[in-house]
């Protein structure tokens, strides 16, 4: 269904359909696909990432269907976020993660499929990890960077909802990274300090 925008605001009710198995959003949503070749530096073990790339070819780590709602104060933006299962070295597949450009804005994530975590981290590195499973809604307060991590063996699908003017600040995490990462140890997910914290670009 088309969105009717007038004077930079949504001017008419609309709906979308989201397939709860695949996470696919119908209609004219923006479809973002994030492949491993563009995420090498996102993972703590860059050698493992390059090796994975050599062995498996370019791999879709996550994708997002984002409805093109104006990025205006008063609007609500939402998307469908799908993170695939897998690991680079012992670190689980995950999203890049970000602060919001308007850092005080919150976000809620409604998980509809899979098993994982929402890692949330403040500027000073203080962190919270919340489990994500179908039926759970995780509230990410303002000033927390956030990333989804898939610890299961099926796609982790959630529906993020956030203020129209929140924006995405990817720069901080590309440069500095999260202070914590989630890795598998003895078959279980554990949080450890990121060995490349503060120098993600190499």
Residues that bind ligand PA5 (CB under 6 A): 64, 79, 81, 95-98, 107, 146-148, 160, 162, 168
Phi, psi of 125 (to 5 degrees): 90, -5
Choosing among Ni ion, ligand PA5, none, which partner's interface includes residue 95 (Cβ < 5 to 8 Å by kind)? ligand PA5
Could you tell me the smallest distance in angstroms from the CB atom of residue 95 to Ni ion? 9
> Residue 79 binds which entry of Ni ion, ligand PA5, none, with Cβ cut-offs from 5 to 8 Å by kind?
ligand PA5
- Output the CA–CA distances (angstroms, integers) from residue 126 to 10, 99, 120, 149, 180, in the order listed: 37, 14, 8, 18, 9
Smallest distance from ligand PA5 to CB 77, Å: 8
Q: How many residues does the chain have?
A: 202
Which string of DSSP letters, residue by residue, matches 68-95? Answer: -----TT-EEEEEEEE---EETTEEPB-
Cα–Cα distance measured from residue 41 to residue 47, given in angstroms and rounded to the nearest whole number? 10
CB of 136 to ligand PA5, least distance (A): 15
Opening angle at CA 71, ends 65 and 76, nearest 5: 70
Distances (CA, A) of 67 to 2, 35, 77: 10, 21, 7
The item of ligand PA5, Ni ion, none sharing an interface with residue 151, based on CB under 5 to 8 Å by kind, is none
Contact between residue 156 and residue 115 where contact means Cβ atoms under 8 Å apart: yes
Is the CB of 169 or the CB of 184 nearer to Ni ion? 169
Show contacts with Ni ion in window 74-113 (CB under 5 A). 107
Residue 155 CB, shortest distance to ligand PA5, in Å, is 12
Q: Which is nearer to ligand PA5, 148 or 194 (CB)?
A: 148
In the bound state with Ni ion, the residue whose beta carbon lies nearer, of 107 and 121, is 107
Q: Which is nearer to Ni ion, 91 or 107 (CB)?
A: 107
Residue 83 and residue 150 in contact, taking contact as beta carbons nearer than 8 Å: yes
- Minimum CB separation of residue 200 from ligand PA5 in Å reads 14
Token pair for 71: 């990025």
Judged by the rule CB under 5 A, the positions of this chain that interact with Ni ion are 107
């Amino acid at each position: 269904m088309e969105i009717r925008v007038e004077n930079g605001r949504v001017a008419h009710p609309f709906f979308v359909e989201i397939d709860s198995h695949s996470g696919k959003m119908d209609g004219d949503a923006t479809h973002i696909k994030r492949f491993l070749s563009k995420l090498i530096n996102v993972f703590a073990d860059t050698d493992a990432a390059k090796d994975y790339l050599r062995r498996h070819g370019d791999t879709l780590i996550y994708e997002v269907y984002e409805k093109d709602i104006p990025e205006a104060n008063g609007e609500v933006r939402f998307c469908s976020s799908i993170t695939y299962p897998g690991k680079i070295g012992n670190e689980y597949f995950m999203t890049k993660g970000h602060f919001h450009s308007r850092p005080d804005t919150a976000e809620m994530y409604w998980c509809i499929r899979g098993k994982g975590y929402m890692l949330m981290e403040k500027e000073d590195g203080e962190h919270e990890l919340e489990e994500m499973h179908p039926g759970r809604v995780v509230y990410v307060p303002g000033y927390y960077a956030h990333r989804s991590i898939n610890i299961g063996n099926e796609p982790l699908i959630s529906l993020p909802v956030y203020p129209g003017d929140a924006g995405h600040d990817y720069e901080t995490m590309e440069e500095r990274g999260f202070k914590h990462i989630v890795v598998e140890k003895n078959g279980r997910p554990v949080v450890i300090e990121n060995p490349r914290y503060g120098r993600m670009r190499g």
